[in-house]
Structure 1
């Protein structure tokens, strides 16, 4: 990975405005977002899983995630990849996989400590995994996801987990489900690495999150879910004989994928 690309990605987390990071699920969505002027895109594990007929969060999309990273790594933009919990139990195995993600062209990853129905990973073990990743790929931006709010579990441990992951080498902290303004402000003020929050329509704006101290704002699966909704609604309009007025890319716009 070129050091300049990592430096550019890091700088996006300390700019005047937070990094708004849209999340793609395939080559076309990522290419369109980059063409729209977003300097970086992430992937959405839900979008990747659902597009392949698989459940999210069950470590069943390892190969799909790597294939997608290799596709998106050819695009003229910065890429960070959602690797769920790392698709392995042993820290060295997770580190090996993330090295493959970096070799594909990614400048960063998200790695979560949620384990679905099993609750949260042991924070010490998760810290070992983060340290192994940074040892294997020092130039990879590791965004450590803390799932206390997402799973509604013991949210008073959020800061303790975040600090442990930071001490292990995490470059940023992602707390999906964190939405109360006071909680966002307090956590952002307590951390010396960028805080990433998940955009929640109707709850806040980018300007409000910036004022609270968030440095990165992800869309998660929102764009994928909106795309599915739009597709179904358009099909219903066609069937019902209603006019389809939405402006969309033409066939010729998408016929030859950009790289």
Structure 2
């Protein structure tokens, strides 16, 4: 069912959430699917993004969201919360057991506070092993590989992304996520290069949904930008409360 949502004429718009209330708001606003934002969840519990959230903490939040919402839920697992394919597969299986239908896994890691791309061959081997372990366990889950050449502004990001997409497709990826890609020409080249659905993310200057559909994009997500907008709105309201010495702004 979730995989089919990536094959429709209209792109799948993922509402990125971080708790039960945000998930239920997405459901009331007729989104077809929700996905967690690792950055939003990390900030919510007072941590920095980059796998600083414990897997047990993530499971607690995801379980609550899954129980509360009827929407298909995909979860950002960063680089997998494990150093071996067996641990990563185990983590994914635990997520599926609480109702998760998809995961995002990243081909970059944070080392001493700095994010860097993983070796693409090593990542591909890991992905292939994880997929094999999931198959052995009889677990179906949509694996969306987040490839971070654009996010990290590496040289020749398009060429680097194309090479990685080819490897990841052969290793069992169901979809490819390229955060921070925004140029129409680059997007068009990427979507034409693979049969896998391409996922882009909300960033300034990203084309609108109509244009993205024409470019062949099949999935559009929001990252942590919705959460950041909510915090900015809260800050504005609280500023008004202090400045006006009144709660009127809360009831506008």
Q: Same fold (TM over 0.5)?
A: yes
Higher mean C-alpha displacement, 29-38 vs 52-61: 52-61
- Secondary structure of the residue aligned to 1:31 is helix
Deviation at 1:240, TM superposition (A): 2.1
Aligned to 1:150: 151
Aligned to 1:132: 129
Alignment of 1:192-211 (within 5 A): 192-211=195-214
Q: Point out where structure 2 has 5 or more consecutive residues left out of the alignment.
A: none
Higher mean C-alpha displacement, 121-130 vs 155-164: 121-130
- Contact kept, 8 Å, 1:98 with 1:133, in 2: the verdict is no
Q: Distance in 2 between matches of 1:15 and 1:184?
A: 18
- 2:95 counterpart of 1:101: yes
Label 1:233 to 1:12 Cα distance change in 2 as closer, same or farther (>3 A): same
Higher mean C-alpha displacement, 53-62 vs 192-201: 53-62
Deviation at 1:73, TM superposition (A): 1.7
Aligned to 2:249: 244
- 2:173 counterpart of 1:180: no
Q: Give aligned pairs, total.
A: 240
Aligned to 1:12: 5
Aligned to 2:24: 31
When the two chains are superposed, the root-mean-square deviation of aligned CA atoms in Å is 1.6
Q: Distance in 1 between matches of 2:222 and 2:48?
A: 19
Q: Point out where structure 1 has 5 or more consecutive residues left out of the alignment.
A: 1-7, 248-259
Moved over 4 A (4+): none
- Contact kept, 8 Å, 1:54 with 1:61, in 2: the verdict is no
Label 1:22 to 1:118 Cα distance change in 2 as closer, same or farther (>3 A): closer
- Secondary structure of the residue aligned to 1:197 is strand
Deviation at 1:60, TM superposition (A): 3.4
Q: Distance in 2 between matches of 1:245 and 1:95?
A: 45
| Candidates 47, 69, 76, aligned match of 2:62 | 69
Q: Distance in 1 between matches of 2:51 and 2:37?
A: 14
